[in-house]
Chains A and B, each alone.
Chain A
Amino acid sequence: DAKTTQPTSMDCAEGRAANLPCNHSTISGNEYVYWYRQIHSQGPQYIIHGLKNNETNEMASLIITEDRKSSTLILPHATLRDTAVYYCIVTSNFGNEKLTFGTGTRLTIIP
């Protein structure tokens, strides 16, 4: 059962903001939204996570809608090195619920 829905692929021009959407309409109250990315030939890399408030770190911003049914990962000034597969994952921070990776969004930054 997929908890999240993401577009298969997206393009973004270098230097522009990349906005990656994720739908998680069945999210429950204790579930967090996590974002990871996987650059070719590397292991997945943690980006950011949040519960209901918007979050920002040195890599990205996470905007979660008020009803928590969707979110957007924002890379403010995309570079070629941001080309990767981006995974949106919904998981509880309690117990031993598995971190399940779906198919993600393949983001290509265009020079």
Chain B
Amino acid sequence: DAGVIQSPRHEVTEMGQEVTLRCKPISGHNSLFWYRQTMMRGLELLIYFNNNVPIDDSGMPEDRFSAKMPNASFSTLKIQPSEPRDSAVYFCASSFQGYNSPLHFGNGTRLTVT
């Protein structure tokens, strides 16, 4: 089992550009989570999918952020347009059954917006 796979590991972009982060959850897991981590705010949940359906997107900062899960093996988090304050490490996690089972995290994407 390769674990949760995120790409890219690092992304540097200029303000105003579109950024797309990708995640492949563990096979057989039906829940997927996107978290963001900064020094100031720690780990924050952005959005939670269950069976490819968004269940809780209350953590998505604003309309510039969107997330999709077109199938059970792939999810994207898109920021358009990006801003310097979006600089953070973005983690994807998956679990067998929502919060009823442990979350398995990827190694994150470090985003820098200049």
- State the Cβ distance, A103 to closest chain B Cβ, in Å: 6
Residues B108 and A43 in contact, CB atoms below 8 Å apart: yes
Residues A98 and B56 in contact, CB atoms below 8 Å apart: yes
Residues of A19-44 whose CB lies within 8 A of B: 34, 36, 41-44
**Which of B14-22, B42-50, B62-70, B72-80 forms part of the interface with chain A?**
B42-50
Residues A96 and B103 in contact, CB atoms below 8 Å apart: no
With A96-B48, A99-B103 in contact, do A43 and B93 touch (Cβ < 8 Å)?
A: yes
Q: How far is the CA of A111 from the CA of B106 in the complex (A)?
A: 29
Residues of B66-114 whose CB lies within 8 A of A: 91, 93, 98-100, 102-108
List, in ascending order, chain A residues with CB within 8 A of B99's CB. Answer: 91-93, 96-99
Question: Taking the complex as formed, is B12 at the interface, i.e. its CB lies under 8 A from any CB of chain A?
Answer: no
Residues A96 and B43 in contact, CB atoms below 8 Å apart: no
Complex partner residue of B104 from A46, A49, A91, A97, CB under 8 angstroms: A46
Residues B42 and A102 in contact, CB atoms below 8 Å apart: yes
List, in ascending order, chain B residues with CB within 8 A of A9's CB. Answer: none
Residues A44 and B103 in contact, CB atoms below 8 Å apart: yes
Residues B106 and A43 in contact, CB atoms below 8 Å apart: yes
Q: Which residue of A lies closest to B33 (CB)?
A: A99
- State the Cβ distance, B27 to closest chain A Cβ, in Å: 18
Q: Which of B4, B48, B99 has the most CB of A within 10 A?
A: B99
List, in ascending order, chain B residues with CB within 8 A of A93's CB. Answer: 99-100
Question: Taking the complex as formed, is A8 at the interface, i.e. its CB lies under 8 A from any CB of chain B?
Answer: no
Task: Pull 20 A–B residue pairs with CB atoms less than 8 Å apart, ordered by A.
Answer: A42-B108, A43-B91, A43-B93, A43-B105, A43-B107, A44-B103, A44-B105, A46-B102, A46-B103, A93-B100, A96-B55, A96-B56, A98-B45, A98-B48, A99-B33, A99-B45, A100-B45, A101-B42, A102-B42, A103-B42
